[in-house]
Chains A and B, each alone.
Chain A
Amino acid sequence: IALVQLGQPCVCLPPLRAAAEQLRQKDLRISQLQADLRRPPPAPAQPPEPEALPTIYVVTPTYARLVQKAELVQPSQTLSLVPRLQWLLVEDAEGPTPLVSGLLAASGLLFTHLAVLSHKAQRLWPRGVEQRNRALDWGAVGGEKDPPPPGTRGVMYFADNDNTYSRKLFEEMRWTCGVSVWPVGLVGGLQFEGPRIQDGRVVGFHTAWEPNRPFPVDMAGFAVALSLLLAKPNSRFDATAPWGHLESSLLSHLVDPKDLEPRAANCTRVLVWHTRTEKPKMKQEEQLQRGGRGSDPAVEV
């Protein structure tokens, strides 16, 4: 009678008791099914990692300036399209900055975040030397941050952040044995600069500016096999090299021009462009700041 008062069915009689038990079992089952529906399904088997593919290690030096974030967002979107790639971002700073850390975390890329502060003399020109050398240290000798495991097949590419890279470029460089080369668009005062090829070998360079450089190629125009860097672990860029000779200062330690491996259809296709971003005009910002009304510095640009 108490149960009836509570609105519960009376289960004092055996048939009713059995029916109530059946209902209870069904309720339990419904709850279990509802829980199952809420739970995400088990993960299907992962696609096999393309283990056979050598890893491309892309080295990008960066320094704090107005367009820094924008110029890192751009390449991160391109690099995200390339499988088996690790981005080595090296800041010209005392340590990793929150802006760059946040960007890398959000990028979805496999990355290594390094930082080395340039000497005062090197902060203007040539930029990025110490940062690229830091990446070479990491690749050749290892360091505290996840060096490539021994025996890793890979290639290192120095990708400045204002250039434009097509996806195809990365597939061209992936199977480099020593040093591979290709044309670069919009550099050296030309539509493109690049090696001259005959019978599949580099016989000269198509360039108009300082053609007597040992390697008249732009930083974006070559990639180096990791195995070669490990075989010549002291190879570095020379910060004291004359203007335009930075690339030669590294490559001269690594390879002879005749042993360069041509890519991009025997260096006839342009897959990377030496684009440069204009410095943004800040006239009104400067005006406002003089009046103490500059835009909110807490808003990250």
Chain B
Amino acid sequence: MGWRAAPAAPCLACPAHSRAFLPTAAAAQLTRSCGPSQPWRCRSGGTSSRLCSSCSPGRCWSPCGTRAPSRPCSPRARMTVVTPGARRPLARTPGSTACLTGTSWRCRPVQKAELTRLANTLLHVPNLHWLVVEDAPRRTPLTARLLRDTGLNYTHLHVETPRNYKLRGDARDPRIPRGTMQRNLALRWLREAFPRNSSQPGVVYFADDDNTYSLELFEEMRSTRRVSVWPVAFVGGLRYEAPRVNGAGKVVGWKTVFDPHRPFAIDMAGFAVNLRLILQRSQAYFKLRGVKGGYQESSLLRELVTLSDLEPKAANCTKILVWHTRTEKPVLVNEGKKGFTDPTVEI
């Protein structure tokens, strides 16, 4: 069943795909998509007017005919985006209340906002599966409701990081980086969901919920054969960190100031892995303990690939398509000790 661009238009079959995908609210009058077809917007004179889309056997095109090229409706790699929803305790500032397990306090007031924002981004990406892993003893109703309401294809997992790992850790080992256990659970889930020699095309990307992602980034990573890499803005104390790419299009090093001798001096948001590689190297996980700051990415990537195998994207790593933005901790001083606002209102 193809897109129905208007009630009177014929429905055309696009047999390659089985998933229905309705990325936007404006498509409410459209019925089902043939899978990875993208709703196209008509443009004239710099303004965009309406949403229109069509898919016929083998091809999707923009009926408005202006800028959007037609694309083959071939089975494109499905994107799996892993988001660890880490729990961050409130900082102890005078007048605020520390996060205590068992009280009615939410431990992370920005969680819903950040997941909402990320969902609004992911809604634009065709053929995507969102793996959200909560750092919690059970799936929280807030996250469950939010995920259900987005309309996205998702899986909701949870694993709680033990308290001692979060706060102090072993005196000899530094605290484990936030999100490690959650990302590892996602890797394990993928390995259980797909057989080792699965031919399902897919790409796995670890997307933390406070970063900013351009839509172009997801299309760049889709063609990943093993591990692809690109620049990330606002990390390592720089405007951006980037892989160093030679004239032959090979990654030969890293443009970074913070510990440039790391095997993979790259941020979590700066790479994606082909699903087949994840499945084949079934023992590759992020290292939990004894990992120096900034080495978490290397702890996984060195199990998967060598430097020369990396595939540079984003115009040979010269374009910024992802920004390591961070949300400020909200100042909730006026809540006081007993809580000023109605605790039943979900924020």
Contact = CB atoms under 8 A, between A and B. Distances in A.
Interface of A: 40-41, 43-50, 66-67, 69-71, 73-74, 77-78, 80-83, 105, 108-111, 164, 166-167, 183, 185-186, 188-192, 206, 208-209, 268-270, 273-278, 280-285, 287-288, 294-295, 299-301
Contact of B70 (A40, A45, A164, A166): A40
A209 B54 CA distance: 52
B237 A45 contact: no
A288 B65 CA distance: 47
A189 B339 CA distance: 11
A278 B113 contact: no
Interface string B292-307: 0000000000000000
Contacts of A48: 6
B18 interface: no
A77 B215 contact: yes
A78 B63 contact: no
Contacts of B110: 186, 273, 275
B29 to A, nearest CB: 6
B194 interface: no
Contacts of A50: 26
Contact of B340 (A44, A81, A208, A288): A208
Contacts of A44: 5-6, 9-10, 54, 63
A67 B234 contact: yes
A191 B29 CA distance: 37
Contact of A77 (B61, B112, B121, B236): B121
Given A191-B345, A192-B347, A269-B345, A276 B120 contact: no
Interface in B282-326: 318-320, 323-326
A295 B239 contact: yes
A94 B214 CA distance: 27
Interface of B: 5-6, 8-10, 23-26, 29-30, 41-43, 46-52, 54, 56, 61, 63-65, 70, 109-110, 112-114, 116-117, 120-121, 123-124, 212-215, 231, 233-234, 236-240, 255, 257-258, 318-320, 323-328, 330-335, 340-341, 345-347
Contacts, number: 205
**B contacts with A: majority SS:** loop
Nearest to B47: A110
A285 B255 CA distance: 12
B30 A47 contact: yes
Given A40-B65, A46-B5, A190-B341, A284 B258 contact: yes
B63 A186 contact: no
Contacts of B257: 284, 287-288
A70 B212 contact: yes
A287 B236 CA distance: 12
A300 B8 contact: no
Contacts of A274: 330
A268 B48 CA distance: 35
Given A46-B63, A110-B48, A186-B110, A278 B123 contact: no
